[in-house]
């Protein structure tokens, strides 16, 4: 539900701290080229710590809803991952840093033992933020020492998985902090306000694509999560894809036309969500006197910029908007085929420091396929033909969630640039709105 009216705004942290957090992400990306596994591990760990550095201990333990987690928990969980799946396997006689941390910081790995219920992570006032950071430092020192002598391939592969897992939690830390700050009556700022677009969005064009057989999924070389494989053929029909993401101005027209009051536009479950939750605009939109709108960002409240991509909409909203616009959501195969043919990534990532979607750059081809906002697709999150999860606890990473969720593609302004790729499959329940989730339209001939 949108929130009305203004209260005093409060800057939570010095701008220098927020700048340092995104600079660390950029350094982690720069460290990728030719760097050892050890150096990449340490770079991603520093980047996570820098993202959390602007937060006070009180900020770091807030859990504003069951789907979000406190920043302190993200810091502890990513450390527990490396301690449990790397250090404990490399040194079986090694005692855990703290026996309680396995319960406190396990997420959903049933094979790893019981855990604190997800909706109650905000109750963890202990260990303190300082204790969690000491935990991070101890595990980092031990694992860095272990990696100096080289790791056997199975453990090195888990470290690679852990690096990518931590990058996922870097994005979650930012979106969870945004939700927590957005729920506060003070609406504090995590970073400097994003600058305005400074001009209109490029005109939306439709890029026609012929029917064809394509291959989708991650290729054999390089890291990919298990749900991106195996690569396999799919037939896509003739269709057209929008040249850019839907903008806030275009979404305003949907709101003004009664889009949130017209049940014929909505899936039945979506209409129930609208009525149950009181949705009448995207999350973080704020109705102001005189019919104006503002928007809460990681940089605090600022006027709504109509040229920027709309974000923080659920799949239900994306689907309703597409129906209102006489279009549909693309399938993930349609999206991946277009992204694979795009010459460059033209969107905004967390490394850029904006932490908010930016207006599409001009150009002939499709824009923003990677970055700015995750793009809802019309595809359910199901396994690719021939998918086999790994055995043991790490096999629980993706496979067991392949039901009742929808696929998003492309990454967002909160995604580390290194983490985005054409084959990446993100997934959420259709009512989720707290991620930077946006809309690209598709239509049939």
Nearest C-alpha neighbor of 17 from the set 264, 191, 198: 191
Q: What is the DSSP letter of 211?
A: -
Angle between helices 315-324 and 268-277 (to 10 degrees): 110
**Tokens describing residue 436:** 């930077």
Render 320-331 in DSSP notation, one character per residue.
HHHHHTT-BPPP
| pLDDT per residue as tens digits for the range 148-189 | 989 999 999 999 999 999 999 999 999 999 999 999 999 999
Residue 396 has pLDDT above 60, yes or no: yes
Contact 357, 308 (CB under 8 A): yes
Could you say which of 1.10.10.10, 1.10.150.120, 3.90.1580.10, 3.40.366.30 is the CATH number of the domain covering 206-443?
Answer: 3.90.1580.10
Q: Is the peptide bond before 111 cis (omega within 30 degrees of 0)?
A: no
Q: What is the pLDDT of residue 28?
A: 57
| pLDDT per residue as tens digits for the range 25-82 | 556 555 555 799 999 999 999 999 999 999 999 999 999 999 999 999 999 999 999 9
Q: What is the pLDDT of residue 217?
A: 97
Contact 383, 402 (CB under 8 A): yes
Distance from C-alpha of 223 to C-alpha of 225, rounded to nearest angstrom: 7
| pLDDT per residue as tens digits for the range 226-281 | 999 999 999 999 999 999 999 999 999 999 999 999 999 999 999 999 999 999 99
- Write phi, then psi, for 72 (nearest 5 degrees): -60, -35
- Write phi, then psi, for 199 (nearest 5 degrees): 180, 170
Distance from C-alpha of 46 to C-alpha of 167, rounded to nearest angstrom: 11
**Tokens describing residue 276:** 């149950």
| pLDDT per residue as tens digits for the range 203-212 | 999 999 999 9
- Domain chopping of the chain, boundaries: 15-183, 206-443
Q: What is the pLDDT of residue 198?
A: 79
Mean pLDDT, residues 186-198 taken together: 92
Q: What is the pLDDT of residue 391?
A: 80
User: How is domain 15-183 classified at the CATH fold level?
Assistant: 1.20.120
Question: Mean of the per-residue pLDDT values for the chain?
Answer: 93
Q: What is the pLDDT of residue 232?
A: 97
Q: What is the pLDDT of residue 8?
A: 39
Residue 340 has pLDDT above 50, yes or no: yes
Mean pLDDT, residues 321-328 taken together: 98
Q: What is the pLDDT of residue 413?
A: 98
Q: What is the DSSP letter of 184?
A: S
Which position has the higher pLDDT, 342 or 159? 159
Mean pLDDT, residues 325-332 taken together: 98
Q: What is the pLDDT of residue 2?
A: 43
Whole-angstrom CA distances from 174 to 166, 384, 440 are: 13, 30, 23
pLDDT bucket at 3, cuts 50 / 70 / 90: very low
Total-model pTM: 0.93
């Amino acid at each position: 539900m949108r929130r009305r009216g203004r209260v005093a705004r409060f800057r939570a942290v010095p701008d220098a701290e927020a700048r340092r957090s995104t600079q660390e992400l950029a350094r982690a990306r720069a460290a990728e080229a030719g760097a050892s596994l050890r150096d990449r591990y340490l770079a991603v760990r520093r980047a996570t710590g820098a993202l959390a550095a602007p937060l006070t201990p009180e900020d770091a333990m807030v859990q504003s809803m069951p789907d979000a987690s406190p920043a302190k928990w993200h810091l502890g969980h990513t450390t527990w991952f490396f301690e449990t799946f790397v250090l404990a396997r490399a040194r079986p006689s090694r005692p855990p840093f703290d026996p309680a941390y396995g319960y406190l910081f396990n997420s959903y790995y049933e094979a790893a033992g019981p855990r604190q219920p997800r909706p109650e992570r905000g109750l963890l006032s202990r260990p303190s933020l300082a204790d969690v950071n000491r935990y991070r430092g101890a595990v980092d020192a031990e694992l860095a020492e272990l990696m100096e002598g080289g790791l056997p391939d199975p453990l090195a592969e888990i470290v690679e998985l852990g690096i990518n897992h931590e990058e996922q939690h870097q994005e979650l830390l930012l979106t969870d902090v945004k939700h927590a700050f957005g729920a506060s009556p003070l609406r504090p700022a995590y970073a400097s306000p994003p600058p305005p677009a400074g001009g209109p969005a490029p005109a939306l064009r439709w890029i026609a694509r012929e029917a064809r057989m394509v291959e989708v999924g991650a290729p054999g070389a390089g890291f990919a999560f298990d749900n991106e494989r195996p690569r396999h053929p799919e037939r896509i029909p003739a269709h057209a894809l929008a040249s850019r993401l839907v903008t806030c101005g275009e979404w305003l027209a949907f709101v003004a036309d009664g889009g949130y009051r017209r049940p014929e536009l909505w899936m039945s479950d979506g209409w129930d969500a609208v009525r149950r939750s009181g949705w009448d605009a995207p999350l973080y939109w704020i109705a102001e006197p005189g019919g104006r709108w503002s928007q809460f960002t990681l940089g605090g409240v600022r006027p709504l910029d109509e040229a920027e991509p709309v974000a923080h909409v659920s799949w239900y909203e994306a689907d309703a908007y597409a129906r209102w616009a006489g279009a549909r959501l693309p399938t993930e195969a349609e999206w991946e085929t277009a992204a694979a043919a795009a010459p460059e990534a033209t969107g905004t990532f967390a490394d850029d420091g904006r932490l908010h979607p930016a207006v599409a750059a001009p150009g002939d081809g499709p824009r923003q396929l990677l970055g700015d906002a995750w793009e809802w697709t019309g595809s359910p999150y199901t396994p690719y033909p021939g998918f086999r999860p790994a055995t043991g606890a790490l096999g629980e990473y993706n496979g067991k969630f392949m039901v009742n969720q929808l696929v998003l593609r492309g990454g967002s302004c909160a995604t580390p640039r290194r983490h985005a790729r054409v084959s990446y499959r993100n997934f959420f329940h259709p009512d989720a709105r707290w991620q930077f989730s946006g809309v690209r339209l598709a239509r049939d001939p």
